[in-house]
Chains A and B, each alone.
Chain A
């Protein structure tokens, strides 16, 4: 069934069609419509789930974690301050191997108060042990929620499905909402091997001595390393049933590209417009959109970006005292490999400032004009 819906509702429909059983959430702009629609679905029994209307995001994640340990499929959604308030519990979910799926609307961190998009909220959760998907369309948001449950429940690692504030959260697009039967066939009910129940009493997460703790973390990494292959496998399976491929990255005009613009989120589709215009000007440009940030798709980035003469990484985020975060990751992916083109880093669009095709064209021209990457950050569009 095709519907014209906002990105936030794509998350809600994704959670519904995946048959989420427990939802615990707290409102925050620009996420509110996600939980509003879900509460309506629960009230009207369109969705057979318990909705716990908690008093904070911290409690939202705490409730999701506990519901998940009971063996229930669990969903929540948040943004910015809410996500960072949850930080402690993000570690708890992954450390406890609980496959919670969460929508996060990328919003800039205060102060000053901002409700507009950038990625520092979710990227500062990089090391919490969550899988992170950065989406570029409402359709992709909905599809990815379904896939995320499948991947998370297989690996027992939680997932974050991320979309830009307003550029997606409040933008209406045509979205194909798949048939429930087909989704049920793709995503079977969640039946964890171990769950908390009085019929088999265990203590979960108790005091863990140095004799055991290390191995728990090793196993989390080992399973995280299985995620890229599993995401591709479940993405192909999804394509077979629903006709839409879900991969680790998406490349556009990269095969013969001299210059590859690396992006994430909605900026990826803006970059495509710039790529078309640049090609008309005679610049052989391409766009590589990184969809999965954790685990980082090293192989894909090497295969695709390694072929180009130059690579420009465009970050809507910053690691203060270092550089753009995707820039660091791409450099580490290509370091030490035979095909190691110069990589240029650009920071733009913080706090929701527009990223337009002109922004990418400026970045492309700057990159083409330089022989090697400069140490300093290239800021695009900043008023100095």
Chain B
């Protein structure tokens, strides 16, 4: 008898995110939520501070997710998650995975103190920062996650952002928490695998997920997945893990390192950059990549 060939799915079919959400077309943060929930399953509770996702989920009394959400204050994602975890445990629920789900503004800027507090205490939460590199929900203002060179509504082209993106992964590593991972929705299997791994680790786990924002980046929605591939290929946003603040593991190493110029050209937020600006950014990217490789090679 001939064996029937079926395609093996690399991700579970179960969907905990429904249609009807309010995200823009091509929203990376939406893909991130979908994949993360596939990995964590239904026994998950989310603390969402002010960010795109406080709108995406839908207005009262609706929700596009099949897990409970606590919409919390902007700077409190981590502290709320710590409290929620403690509260659930005290009422007898020791199983639920509590996730703080915040944007880059809520993580790199206003929520950094609470995040540092929770990480230092090693509270048993997963903190996910979906990074779209500016305050997108309020209308594209610069955050400390905005990359060098980018236009935003508070960094006009004549005075574009002239400081590098804050190295949040190094800041979190300095807390010596058990697990840190960068992830990217264009590599869903990698994201899924690392989130599954994190689910079984106790203590504070931090995910930094690259989340393209076509609206804020002045780019085409259909390029979201492409951007995710490009930043791994050009090493602008490498995929790696950090265990206990020390053990760095590179997940994907491109065979050939692509120049960042191709990536920048597809986004209106970088349109004003001159050749020398791009060269400067390429040098920075090279430097960061070399630094990461050294950390990954260190034994």
Contacts and interface: CB of A to CB of B under 8 A. Distances in A.
Interface of A: 21-22, 24, 49-50, 52-56, 58-60, 62-72, 74, 88-89, 92, 195-198, 200-209, 212
Given A196-B45, A206-B54, A206-B63, A70 B88 contact: yes
A58 B80 CA distance: 10
A69 B46 CA distance: 12
Given A21-B90, A88-B73, A89-B76, A203 B84 contact: no
Nearest to A64: B83
Contact of A59 (B68, B76, B88): B76
A196 B43 CA distance: 12
What 8 pairs across the A-B complex have the smallest Cβ distances?
A70-B87, A63-B83, A55-B117, A67-B87, A66-B83, A59-B79, A62-B76, A203-B63
Contact of B86 (A52, A92, A205): A52
A63 B89 CA distance: 13
Contacts of B81: 66
B45 A54 contact: no
A89 B72 CA distance: 9
Contact of B79 (A49, A63, A74, A201): A63
B273 to A, nearest CB: 36
A22 B117 contact: no
21 contacts: A49-B90, A50-B86, A55-B117, A59-B113, A62-B72, A63-B82, A63-B86, A69-B70, A70-B87, A72-B87, A196-B45, A198-B68, A198-B96, A201-B42, A201-B63, A201-B69, A203-B65, A206-B63, A207-B60, A208-B60, A212-B61
How many of chain B's residues touch chain A, expressed as a range?
35 or more
B73 A207 contact: no
A59 B45 CA distance: 19
A50 B76 contact: no
Contacts of B76: 58-59, 62, 89
A52 B83 contact: yes
B272 interface: no
B123 interface: yes
A70 B84 contact: yes
Contacts of B55: 207
Interface of B: 42-45, 47, 54-55, 57-63, 65-73, 75-76, 78-84, 86-91, 93, 96, 113-114, 116-117, 120-121, 123
Contact of B59 (A21, A63, A209): A209
A54 B68 contact: no
- Residue of A24, A60, A204 ringed by the most chain B CB atoms within 10 A: A204
Contact of B87 (A62, A71, A208, A209): A71
A220 to B, nearest CB: 15
A71 B59 CA distance: 24
Given A50-B86, A62-B72, A197-B68, A202 B63 contact: yes
Contacts of A72: 86-88, 90-91
A55 B103 CA distance: 21
Nearest to B92: A71
Contact of A55 (B45, B86, B91, B114): B114
B90 A205 contact: no
Contacts of A52: 82-83, 86, 121, 123
A69 B84 contact: yes
A92 B73 contact: yes
